[in-house]
Amino acid sequence: DAGVIQSPRHEVTEMGQEVTLRCKPISGHDYLFWYRQTMMRGLELLIYFNNNVPIDDSGMPEDRFSAKMPNASFSTLKIQPSEPRDSAVYFCASSLVGQGKGYTFGSGTRLTVV
């Protein structure tokens, strides 16, 4: 298995632009999570899905953030418009309930908003 695949690995964009981060979870996993990591706030859960349905989006910081999971093999996190304070590493993770092996994280997308 190729693991959780995120793209792009790095994204540099100007303030006000739309940014779309992509994630392909491990095949067969039924949970998908989006996290944001910064030095100041550590790992923050933004939103998670179960069987493609959003379960908890209380961590999404503002209406500028949105996430979708149109099918079991793809999810996106969109920021529009982007701001410098959105600069962080964004991780996607997936898991299979009952597997007992925790989450598998992708390698992350480092976002820089200038």
Partner 1 sequence: QQQVKQSPQSLIVQKGGISIINCAYENTAFDYFPWYQQFPGKGPALLIAIRPDVSEKKEGRFTISFNKSAKQFSLHIMDSQPGDSATYFCAAKTSGSRLTFGEGTQLTVNP
Binding site for partner 1 (CB under 8 A): 4, 33, 42-43, 45, 48, 56, 91, 93, 97, 100-108
Please identify, using beta-carbon distances, which residue of 72 and 89 lies nearer to partner 1: 89
CA dist 44 and 60 (Å) reads 9
Q: CB of 102: closest distance to partner 1 in angstroms?
A: 5
Please identify, using beta-carbon distances, which residue of 65 and 103 lies nearer to partner 1: 103
Q: Token pair of 2, please? A: 């190729």
Please identify, using beta-carbon distances, which residue of 9 and 85 lies nearer to partner 1: 9
Closest by CA to 85, choosing from 36, 22, 35, 33, is: 36
Residue 85: strand, helix, or coil: helix
